[in-house]
A and B are shown apart, each in its own frame.
Chain A
């Protein structure tokens, strides 16, 4: 089913709202070993998972904050004030009336249907969307693809989860991966069997599955030998959240000759700290692509990573970030070339406006034994006004002399002549700005499924409105 079809179906289910479920379990604010144990127990998890959670918790407690990034904002996070609650029913208990007016307006202007608006606003109503969910699942099941939320994944495929969980992103990796491991809930679990190529991007389901967008979601995707999958998460509409800390972990495993593409477009409301660890392992001749778009939030720190472990494997990370007023997008990519003949391409684009700050932080390493690797890094920044800021922190550690590497960086501004040219073709100043900005993002946008591309263009046009003067 295409995205638009899925949306049509969502429309039909508009009448299917019913009262919030009351089975939500809520813990007091703050985190303790007991809270972590309670979460695990409530979910009826196997002991090994409880153990990992507890270990991760202790690691989180003793791990200091990162010593880099936007410390001013990071050090402001009050972990004690956060409620690490668990929802056994559906999403949060926000009231649609609490969703800020400007966000509701944006929904309207993006042409998002009422029902979906409410879901994106995090209202605790549940769709009668089981039918949709099932038809998609049946398609995939027929091919032997496992596609579940992470909690169900653990229940139904414990062996697989146990084999791969925390293997790509160990909880010791960083403070936030430790936190996620301790308290994770929701997220997706996908297994694609040998040789199975999932043709359509797997996305529709997630636009209607409220469980997906948790605060500490955990996603694990395993593509077995010769298989391929394109997973799409998020949406361009502003995702309103009353919970300020969102810390997800995504682990991808691409076995020999497999292909995984993971596309994200996120637009958090601007109270959110979005601190995400995304990492993939690529085995022999496998390809992993991260297509990552970040809009909104107060602070985003996200550096999708690929470990090129197998000979001939390939990594691609294409990311864009838009930092508006009071926002800091600290995004980039990491690639580790561990084997010979591995190749990587990083393209990072950021726009900052109204005092926003866009940072590129990248790291590429090539191991001593990794002969004949190719590295290509391009990062471009576009600054829309004097108050805004862009900075780059590229790191390359190349320990093998046969590596061919290229690195380009550019910072540009929109020139008056460029604007005048577009205005002379009948486009208002705002529209002209939107044409330039969407052009700048185009190398990213063209990689997205059509629906997302169109929405992103609309969203950026909205962002440019009434701002010039």
Chain B
């Protein structure tokens, strides 16, 4: 993961069955950059996130995604993960019987490979991350996302982000359902681990962007990025909603 960390999404078209969901996404992200992606419900944000991770259900009909020039679309999800792609899920899945501690250790081993810390170092690293995220040690003995509250699920996602050290981090609505304190904690976790990653934060709200300052904000409508700008774009959306974008497009 020593590369430049340039992620390029070019003219990405995705459909499921006969239905086109993404209609030519173009986006370039570099290591250390935070990009926010905003858009109405159903506009295709999660689809983009899952396609980047390699969800088998979606079909890429056109376009490419590369990291440092290497095509990732032909890779299996686990190969992408090992290459440094990470997705914080909008709806994390539960795995009854699989203990969080065990799961984290195995995932770190799978992804960090030769750089996997020894048991003792790992425990130390884990403790640092858990302290920062304000999660109790008991967490490790619970089953992955099984009976977790919304906030606990999101914390576990960010704990994984911190431990897996990706070069492309896609965070799908990690802020939704968090109370104000939890939002701040989770944001601290995100900030601590995205310095070496290109980070795509999918959100509906300005409030997480108060804590995690985006370099760029993009707006997606009907599977296409229709506007890009700096942090002020998010503020404008918060203020005016999405209506004006449609008008401008029609006008353009």
Whether B98 lies near A425 (C-beta < 8 A) is no
Q: Which 8 A-B pairs have the closest CB atoms?
A: A439-B97, A426-B110, A442-B97, A439-B98, A421-B93, A426-B111, A423-B77, A426-B81
- For window 26-82 of B, CB contacts with A under 8 Å fall at 50, 53-57, 76-78, 80-82
Nearest chain A CB to B162 CB, angstrom units: 13
Task: Indicate if A438 sits at the interface (CB-CB under 8 A).
Answer: yes
B residues near A426, Cβ cutoff 8 Å:
78, 81-82, 107, 110-111, 164
Identity of the chain B residue whose Cβ is nearest the Cβ of A445 in the assembled complex: B97
- For window 374-389 of A, CB contacts with B under 8 Å fall at none
Against A, the Cβ 8 Å flags (1 = close, 0 = not) of B121-143 are 00000000000000000000001
Against A, the Cβ 8 Å flags (1 = close, 0 = not) of B152-166 are 000000001000100
Mark B residues whose CB is within 8 Å of A: 50, 53-57, 76-78, 80-82, 86-87, 89, 91-99, 103, 106-107, 110-111, 143-144, 160, 164
Whether B98 lies near A423 (C-beta < 8 A) is no
Nearest chain B CB to A50 CB, angstrom units: 50
Whether B95 lies near A420 (C-beta < 8 A) is no
Task: Indicate if A76 sits at the interface (CB-CB under 8 A).
Answer: no
Known contacts A420-B55, A421-B89, A427 near B110 by CB under 8 Å:
yes
Whether A425 lies near B56 (C-beta < 8 A) is no
Q: Could you count the A-B residue pairs with CB atoms below 8 Å apart for me: how many are there?
A: 83
B residues near A1, Cβ cutoff 8 Å:
none
Whether A439 lies near B96 (C-beta < 8 A) is yes
- For window 192-241 of A, CB contacts with B under 8 Å fall at none
Identity of the chain A residue whose Cβ is nearest the Cβ of B93 in the assembled complex: A421
Task: Indicate if A355 sits at the interface (CB-CB under 8 A).
Answer: no
- For window 157-176 of A, CB contacts with B under 8 Å fall at none
A residues near B144, Cβ cutoff 8 Å:
439
A423 and B95 alpha carbons, distance in the complex (Å): 13
A residues near B106, Cβ cutoff 8 Å:
427, 435
Task: Indicate if A440 sits at the interface (CB-CB under 8 A).
Answer: yes
Task: Indicate if A422 sits at the interface (CB-CB under 8 A).
Answer: yes
The interface centre, meaning the residue of A420, A424, A435, A440 with most chain B CB atoms within 10 A of its CB, is A424
Whether A423 lies near B76 (C-beta < 8 A) is yes
Q: Which of A119-127, A360-368, A392-400, A410-418 makes up part of the contact surface?
A: A410-418
A440 and B80 alpha carbons, distance in the complex (Å): 27
Task: Indicate if A443 sits at the interface (CB-CB under 8 A).
Answer: yes
Whether B103 lies near A417 (C-beta < 8 A) is no
Task: Indicate if A57 sits at the interface (CB-CB under 8 A).
Answer: no
Whether B78 lies near A428 (C-beta < 8 A) is yes
Whether A443 lies near B97 (C-beta < 8 A) is yes
B residues near A436, Cβ cutoff 8 Å:
95, 98
A residues near B98, Cβ cutoff 8 Å:
435-436, 438-439, 442
Whether A420 lies near B81 (C-beta < 8 A) is no
A residues near B94, Cβ cutoff 8 Å:
418
Whether A439 lies near B143 (C-beta < 8 A) is yes
Whether B97 lies near A440 (C-beta < 8 A) is yes
Contact partner of A424 (CB less than 8 A), chosen from B87, B103, B143, is B87
Whether B77 lies near A416 (C-beta < 8 A) is no
Whether B97 lies near A424 (C-beta < 8 A) is no
A439 and B96 alpha carbons, distance in the complex (Å): 6
The interface centre, meaning the residue of B54, B92, B110, B164 with most chain A CB atoms within 10 A of its CB, is B110
A residues near B111, Cβ cutoff 8 Å:
425-426
B residues near A421, Cβ cutoff 8 Å:
89, 92-93, 95
Contact partner of A423 (CB less than 8 A), chosen from B81, B86, B91, B92, is B81
- For window 415-469 of A, CB contacts with B under 8 Å fall at 415-418, 420-429, 431-432, 435-436, 438-443
Whether A425 lies near B160 (C-beta < 8 A) is yes
Nearest chain A CB to B99 CB, angstrom units: 8
Whether A427 lies near B78 (C-beta < 8 A) is yes
Identity of the chain A residue whose Cβ is nearest the Cβ of B57 in the assembled complex: A416
A residues near B54, Cβ cutoff 8 Å:
423-424
A438 and B82 alpha carbons, distance in the complex (Å): 23
B residues near A422, Cβ cutoff 8 Å:
93, 95
A residues near B143, Cβ cutoff 8 Å:
439, 442
B residues near A443, Cβ cutoff 8 Å:
97
Whether B89 lies near A425 (C-beta < 8 A) is no
Q: A420-B93, A428-B78 are known contacts; what are 9 more A-B pairs with Cβ within 8 Å?
A: A417-B93, A420-B50, A420-B53, A420-B56, A428-B76, A431-B78, A436-B95, A439-B95, A442-B99
Nearest chain A CB to B167 CB, angstrom units: 14
Whether B95 lies near A425 (C-beta < 8 A) is no
Identity of the chain B residue whose Cβ is nearest the Cβ of A417 in the assembled complex: B93
A362 and B107 alpha carbons, distance in the complex (Å): 38
A413 and B205 alpha carbons, distance in the complex (Å): 36
A-B contact pairs, 18 of them (CB 8 A): A418-B95, A421-B89, A421-B93, A423-B77, A424-B54, A424-B80, A425-B81, A425-B111, A425-B164, A427-B106, A427-B107, A428-B76, A429-B76, A431-B110, A435-B98, A436-B98, A439-B98, A443-B97
Whether A423 lies near B97 (C-beta < 8 A) is no
A residues near B89, Cβ cutoff 8 Å:
421, 424
Nearest chain A CB to B85 CB, angstrom units: 8
Identity of the chain B residue whose Cβ is nearest the Cβ of A440 in the assembled complex: B97
A428 and B107 alpha carbons, distance in the complex (Å): 11
Nearest chain B CB to A93 CB, angstrom units: 42
A442 and B110 alpha carbons, distance in the complex (Å): 21
A residues near B92, Cβ cutoff 8 Å:
421
B residues near A418, Cβ cutoff 8 Å:
93-95
Nearest chain B CB to A363 CB, angstrom units: 27
A residues near B81, Cβ cutoff 8 Å:
423-426
Whether B87 lies near A435 (C-beta < 8 A) is no
Nearest chain A CB to B88 CB, angstrom units: 10
B residues near A440, Cβ cutoff 8 Å:
96-97
A422 and B93 alpha carbons, distance in the complex (Å): 9
A415 and B103 alpha carbons, distance in the complex (Å): 18
Nearest chain B CB to A304 CB, angstrom units: 22
A residues near B56, Cβ cutoff 8 Å:
416, 420
Nearest chain A CB to B144 CB, angstrom units: 8
Known contacts A420-B56, A425-B110, A435 near B77 by CB under 8 Å:
no
Nearest chain A CB to B107 CB, angstrom units: 4
A417 and B96 alpha carbons, distance in the complex (Å): 14
Nearest chain A CB to B48 CB, angstrom units: 15
